[in-house]
Amino acid sequence: MRLIHKYIGLVCASILFFTSCESDVLDNNPYYMGDSADQIFSDPVKIAAASVGLYDALQNSEFLGGRAQIYVDARGIDLNPPTFFGNLSTFQPTSSDATIEDAWQGAYRTIYECNLFLKGIEGAKAASVITESEYKTYSAEAKFIRGVVYFYTLNFWGQMYAKESENLGVPLVLQAFDGGSAFTEAIKITRSTIDDCYKQIISDFEYAEQNLSDTRDDVYEGRATATSSAAQAMLCRTYLYMKDNAKAIAYANKLDGKYSLESTTITNLTNPAASSEVIFFIAMNISDNPNTNNALGQHYGKDARADITVNSDYLNLFSNTDKRKTDVVVQKGGNWYCNKYQNGTKDWAPIIRYAEILLNKAEALVKSSNTVDAGAVSLLNQVHGRSDSGVTYSTSDFANAQALLDEILKERRRELAFEGHGSFDLFRNGKGIPAGRGSASTPALEYPNNYFALPIPNSDIEKAGANVLKQNKGY
């Protein structure tokens, strides 16, 4: 059993520390803390430690350590646009926006660390330092992490999926360039199509599905590290975003019996690692977290930074019998705050849980049949009934498929709020931003809109050349 905590000390001592002064997609020159790459990839124990270090890379303070989840929701309709993140949340950013540049660099820094690890274990396998089986397992973990990061990166800097769209995705950096070629070769990477980006994401998740175990012996490790089940869950989400409803349903079905909803709301879980519904999350603890200021609990917490408030319209989604009305939000000083993250810097950063899978399947069933699907209503009741026993839906409650779909999307807002779904759910369903968001004078942003995709940082465009790394429309 390869428990994640067994290697924490060794990670701190000898893991590759892959950051650089620039740390962007064009110029990733690594430096090492402790042992050299040759020393690490010639020792199977240190390779195991390095693989754990990839999860530490996933904690990136400017991206999936919590900030990325906030950005998805800050651009949605359930939060008041937080002034701390400036123009990102008000759809008025520039290509020199520091918050967006930090997020871009954070995403590609983690991708680079995955690529560098994959390169190292390729050599370790060739030198018989690790077995073929170990190589596949390590590769699967790195590719799962890379797939997760690319999923969010694509949906931030690209428009929503459209197979024949002329809109571009993001640069697919799939290898680690050595110090002599980092600039001259990486700078040539152009933006791939949205379709090709999704194909790569699927390829990474499929490899993880095929080469990892369903679960792990240790409960904590089974939620905080990659598993075949976690890859299946991400494939379910990915295919839903790609409008391939049949495959989204098929992958949801693969998770039947592996996870189940808790009897209480997710807010009341003090230990998500032991939860029957958490599939994958980014682990934190008091000594290992993004940092004091960037953690989810700090931004959302009513007693911490408290710089993000909940829109009062969100409260109107709940009936008076719904426990989430008092569990998910809390009031202080006339403002409403998210109550899901109560542990400051120790709070878990959510990626995917079983409630989403059930709602993914419900949505896909309705979209694929264009009917008031009884199975979708049953799934809606499973999620809603856990928190609100006073409301039970029946097929007769919905005049048509669109009415049922609208209720499923509302349930996603109720259940998955502040976990990084808000704006993505709007845009992928062809919905824009209504007028009055944040202030009465704010105009509506109709779908489609150029500004639903973030600008590519100008610092990278200048290095690559505008003809190589093309800017998104409107910037």
Question: Tens of pLDDT along the chain (475 residues)?
Answer: 344 433 333 333 334 433 333 333 333 333 334 577 788 999 999 999 999 999 999 999 999 999 999 999 999 999 999 999 879 999 999 999 999 999 999 999 999 999 999 999 999 999 999 999 999 999 999 999 999 999 999 999 999 998 777 889 999 999 987 654 444 556 678 999 999 999 999 999 999 999 999 988 787 788 999 999 999 999 999 999 999 999 999 999 999 999 999 998 877 676 777 899 999 999 877 667 766 688 898 899 899 889 999 998 999 999 999 999 999 999 999 999 999 998 877 788 999 999 999 999 999 999 999 999 999 999 999 999 999 999 999 999 999 999 999 999 999 999 999 999 999 999 999 999 999 887 778 899 999 999 999 999 999 999 888 999 999 999 9
State how beta strands 329-332 and 278-282 pair: unpaired
Phi (first) and psi of residue 79, to 5 degrees: -115, 150
The predicted pLDDT at position 34 comes to 55
Give the torsion through C-alpha atoms of 28, 33, 35, 39, to 10 deg: -20
Q: How far apart are CA 369 and CA 135, in angstroms?
A: 42
Environment class of 374 (CB within 10 Å of its CB; exposed 0-12, middle 13-18, buried 19+): exposed
Environment class of 474 (CB within 10 Å of its CB; exposed 0-12, middle 13-18, buried 19+): exposed
| Per-residue DSSP letter, 373 | -
Mention every residue, 6+ apart, whose C-beta is less than 8 A from residue 310. 78, 79, 80, 329, 335, 336, 337, 338
∠ Cα 88 93 98 (to 5°): 75
The predicted pLDDT at position 216 comes to 82
The predicted pLDDT at position 184 comes to 53
| Per-residue DSSP letter, 129 | S
Q: Is-contact 368 246, C-beta < 8 A?
A: yes
Q: How far apart are CA 195 and CA 202, in angstroms?
A: 11
Q: Provide the token pair at 6.
A: 């067994």
Give the number of other Cβ atoms within 10 Å of residue 316's Cβ.
8
Q: How far apart are CA 226 and CA 3, in angstroms?
A: 12
- Domains of the chain: residue spans and CATH: 4-258+277-283+351-464 (1.25.40.390)
Q: Which residue has the tokens 């879980």?
A: 269
The predicted pLDDT at position 185 comes to 59
Q: Is-contact 135 124, C-beta < 8 A?
A: yes
Q: In which element (H, E) is residue 125 found?
A: helix 98-126
Reduced to 3 states (helix: H, G, I; strand: E, B; else coil), residue 221 is: helix
Q: In which element (H, E) is residue 332 found?
A: strand 329-332
The predicted pLDDT at position 8 comes to 34
The predicted pLDDT at position 55 comes to 92
Q: Which of 357, 283, 352, 285 is nearest to 65 (CA)?
A: 283
The predicted pLDDT at position 217 comes to 79
Q: Which residue has the tokens 């989810």?
A: 296
The predicted pLDDT at position 28 comes to 39
Q: Which of 63, 82, 96, 161 is nearest to 475 (CA)?
A: 96
Beta bridge partners of 288: 285
The predicted pLDDT at position 30 comes to 37
Mention every residue, 6+ apart, whose C-beta is less than 8 A from residue 453. 156, 157, 158, 159, 167, 472, 473
